Chain A
Amino acid sequence: MRLEIKDLRVFYGKIEAIKGISVVVNQGEIVTLIGANGAGKTTTLKTISGLRPVTSGSVTFDGQDISKMQPHDRVALGISQAPEGRGIFPGMSVLENLEIGKYFRKDRRHEMKEDLEKVYHLFPRLKERAFQAGGTLSGGEQQMLAIGRALMARPKVLLLDEPSMGLAPMMIANIFKIITEINTELGTTILLVEQNAQQALQRAHRAYVMETGKIVKEAKASDLLNDPDVRAAYLGTGADAH
């Protein structure tokens, strides 16, 4: 598995949201993309999943150019996303939400049970709530459901868009712990978009810093944790360095 973005440019009408970025995600890694609001992180993930068209540049998966492929074909290749704001289907039960995650697999019957067990093992709370409507879950539970649902497709690479958004600190720590587990136990490669740079950099192997549509820094996550610029801009502890 190797996901590679090269010189990617994406426009919303006349506005250039992504101004030629290159990102590589290798097998088994957790790679994080950090940056402030409006930096283009979510657009990057949407483009990888095929919700936004590519203006120029390329997205390749295992050497195959997927930038013109339909979104559902990308899921079939092994790219799953837990979208920003979780995107739970509020009127469906937790179980139905999970089942939808396996939609593209027609031979799903025999896999379904196994994968449900896998998700319930990671998130026991979802099992308790299996027959409850998705819309009635708490924010943290919805985030678990969004991640679990994305895992149902047996992804090779899991795209997570701000899993910490709007959650209590305890829940954030819990979610990030599970993200690490998914990476180590299931061997799933993860591309993590975050504003919570502290948590993201602690969990990731490598990191990219994005600002207004460009990648401004690329390094090992642990190095960025100690990088004075990053600390000043995203970690909030370097204020007195000025």
Chain B
Amino acid sequence: MINLRDAGSKFWDRLNPIQRRVFVLASIAFLLVVPYLNEFGPTSFLNTPIASFRDALVYPIGMFVLMALGLNIVVGKSGLLDLGYVAFFAIGAYTGAILSTTTSLNMWEILPIGIALAMLSGVILGLPTLRLRGDYLAIVTLGFGEITRIVVLNSKFTGGTNGVPNIPPPPKVGPIVFDIMNPQNYYYLVVVMILLTIWMIRRLTIRRPGRAWEAIRQDEDVAMLMGVPTLKYKLWSFTIGAAVGGAAGVVFASKVMVIAPGMFDFQVSILILACVVFGGIGNIWGVVLGATLLAYIPERIRFLTESRQLVFGLVLVIMMNFRPDGLLPRKKREKIKDKNKEIK
């Protein structure tokens, strides 16, 4: 099997600064035209047969990528198995839905509140449970995901089974209008959020938190012996992951305009985790690719109706057989090469 991850980084290393700039600009241009690919002859095969292509780009594709990146901080970077990640998405979505229908706040103002509440719930869940390890943590987070859904299902202020209807879209920013007629603008918003998340993860990874997470993931006991305050850093990775999930939730609510408890069941947590594993745990680009494919494929093969999930499952099984570490596995020793250069 060729190592796509290494091929990618070799390609990047060979480029000179000007070529790199051109490559980055070309990538941005590509991201800008993606919503129109379904109308363009040679790429029209990308069109999703039942859902509108542009809507599918926001949800599930964009949202899955965003959430998978958030979950990757928890599962991939610090090695904590979180099976209830959907809870943070739900908390963000319900914060957005309730505040925008009951107060005069708009989505942009609610976004930081949604993030803050998701982080707060991350701390509340994390403080007692992050002392647990491995399977035990997975079970507790699974429980948290279910509890959140059931609370939302049975509370008055969340609208019970009916959920929250009539969620207003975000007000326009300059010439960019967010409404049903312009789903591509939501897509651009999500792309910006994804890029910000990637930037944040990369910043954190090369600094002290990244070192601490790496040590905790590889051997938590030894990390303690080295003087790493493990609980603090596990809590950080948990809350940063929660923040990304919360942000995704707020935007999701304003995009779909109606949310209901059924959208936040256990299956979403599992699917997001599958995106991370399928793409390559711990590797940002792998996770982006994995989430894109796992969100897109079910939409693309929707014409298969009932056998759709079966085909999807088969694709997963076959892929994991061929690439057990994911599509783009984590590169084992990232920084070593750079250090070598410094010394020379």
Q: Which residues of A approach B to under 8 Å, CB–CB?
A: 49-51, 70-72, 75-76, 80-81, 83, 87, 89-93, 95-96, 99-101, 103-104, 131, 133, 149-150, 153
Q: Judge whether B218 is part of the interface by a CB distance below 8 angstroms.
A: yes
Alpha-carbon distance between A104 and B230 when the two chains are bound, in angstroms:
11
State which of B208, B212, B225, B229 has its C-beta within 8 Å of the C-beta of A49.
B225
Alpha-carbon distance between A51 and B225 when the two chains are bound, in angstroms:
8
Alpha-carbon distance between A49 and B254 when the two chains are bound, in angstroms:
51
Q: Judge whether B146 is part of the interface by a CB distance below 8 angstroms.
A: no
Alpha-carbon distance between A198 and B335 when the two chains are bound, in angstroms:
42
Q: List 16 A-B contacts (CB under 8 A).
A: A50-B224, A72-B224, A75-B226, A75-B227, A87-B221, A91-B333, A92-B214, A92-B215, A96-B211, A96-B336, A100-B228, A103-B208, A103-B211, A103-B215, A133-B332, A150-B225
Chain B: residues with Cβ within 8 Å of the partner, total of: 23
Alpha-carbon distance between A204 and B197 when the two chains are bound, in angstroms:
54
Alpha-carbon distance between A80 and B228 when the two chains are bound, in angstroms:
12
State which of B214, B228, B230, B340 has its C-beta within 8 Å of the C-beta of A91.
B214
Q: Judge whether B6 is part of the interface by a CB distance below 8 angstroms.
A: no
B227 and A72 within 8 A (CB): yes
With contacts A75-B227, A76-B227, A103-B226 taken as known, whether A90 is within 8 angstroms of B218 at the C-beta atoms is: yes
B39 / chain A contacts, CB cutoff of 8 Å: none
Closest B residue, CB atoms, query A150: B225
Alpha-carbon distance between A225 and B225 when the two chains are bound, in angstroms:
32
Alpha-carbon distance between A150 and B340 when the two chains are bound, in angstroms:
24
Q: Judge whether B219 is part of the interface by a CB distance below 8 angstroms.
A: yes
Count: A-B pairs, CB below 8 Å: 79
B208 / chain A contacts, CB cutoff of 8 Å: 103
CB distance from A37 to the nearest CB of B (A): 20
Q: Which residues of B approach A to under 8 Å, CB–CB?
A: 208, 211-212, 214-215, 218-219, 221-230, 332-333, 335-336, 339-340
B219 / chain A contacts, CB cutoff of 8 Å: 87, 89
CB distance from B179 to the nearest CB of A (A): 48
A87 and B222 within 8 A (CB): yes
Alpha-carbon distance between A92 and B230 when the two chains are bound, in angstroms:
18
A104 and B227 within 8 A (CB): yes
A51 and B224 within 8 A (CB): yes
Alpha-carbon distance between A83 and B226 when the two chains are bound, in angstroms:
10
CB distance from A79 to the nearest CB of B (A): 9
Closest A residue, CB atoms, query B231: A70
Alpha-carbon distance between A100 and B340 when the two chains are bound, in angstroms:
18
State which of A87, A133, A153 has its C-beta within 8 Å of the C-beta of B336.
A133
Alpha-carbon distance between A70 and B224 when the two chains are bound, in angstroms:
9
A81 and B225 within 8 A (CB): yes
Closest B residue, CB atoms, query A74: B227
Alpha-carbon distance between A90 and B212 when the two chains are bound, in angstroms:
15
B335 / chain A contacts, CB cutoff of 8 Å: 93, 96
With contacts A72-B227, A100-B226, A131-B340 taken as known, whether A93 is within 8 angstroms of B333 at the C-beta atoms is: yes
State which of B211, B221, B229 has its C-beta within 8 Å of the C-beta of A72.
B229
For B218, B221, B227, the residue with the greatest tally of chain A CB atoms inside 10 Å of its CB is B227
3 A-B pairs with least C-beta separation? A104-B227, A75-B227, A87-B222
Closest A residue, CB atoms, query B229: A72
State which of A70, A91, A101, A131 has its C-beta within 8 Å of the C-beta of B226.
A101
Alpha-carbon distance between A72 and B228 when the two chains are bound, in angstroms:
6
For B208, B218, B335, the residue with the greatest tally of chain A CB atoms inside 10 Å of its CB is B218
18 further A-B contacts with Cβ under 8 Å, apart from A89-B218, A103-B215, are A51-B225, A72-B227, A81-B225, A83-B222, A87-B221, A89-B222, A93-B333, A95-B336, A95-B339, A96-B211, A100-B211, A100-B215, A103-B226, A104-B228, A133-B333, A149-B226, A150-B225, A153-B226
Alpha-carbon distance between A89 and B222 when the two chains are bound, in angstroms:
8
CB distance from B170 to the nearest CB of A (A): 41
Alpha-carbon distance between A178 and B222 when the two chains are bound, in angstroms:
22
Alpha-carbon distance between A92 and B339 when the two chains are bound, in angstroms:
12
With contacts A100-B215, A103-B211 taken as known, whether A87 is within 8 angstroms of B333 at the C-beta atoms is: no
Alpha-carbon distance between A115 and B339 when the two chains are bound, in angstroms:
18
CB distance from B280 to the nearest CB of A (A): 14
B214 and A89 within 8 A (CB): yes
B224 / chain A contacts, CB cutoff of 8 Å: 49-51, 71-72
State which of A70, A92, A103 has its C-beta within 8 Å of the C-beta of B333.
A92
Closest B residue, CB atoms, query A131: B336
A83 / chain B contacts, CB cutoff of 8 Å: 221-222, 225
State which of A81, A92, A153 has its C-beta within 8 Å of the C-beta of B218.
A92
B336 / chain A contacts, CB cutoff of 8 Å: 93, 95-96, 131, 133
A70 / chain B contacts, CB cutoff of 8 Å: 229
CB distance from B253 to the nearest CB of A (A): 39
Alpha-carbon distance between A90 and B11 when the two chains are bound, in angstroms:
27
B339 / chain A contacts, CB cutoff of 8 Å: 93, 95, 131
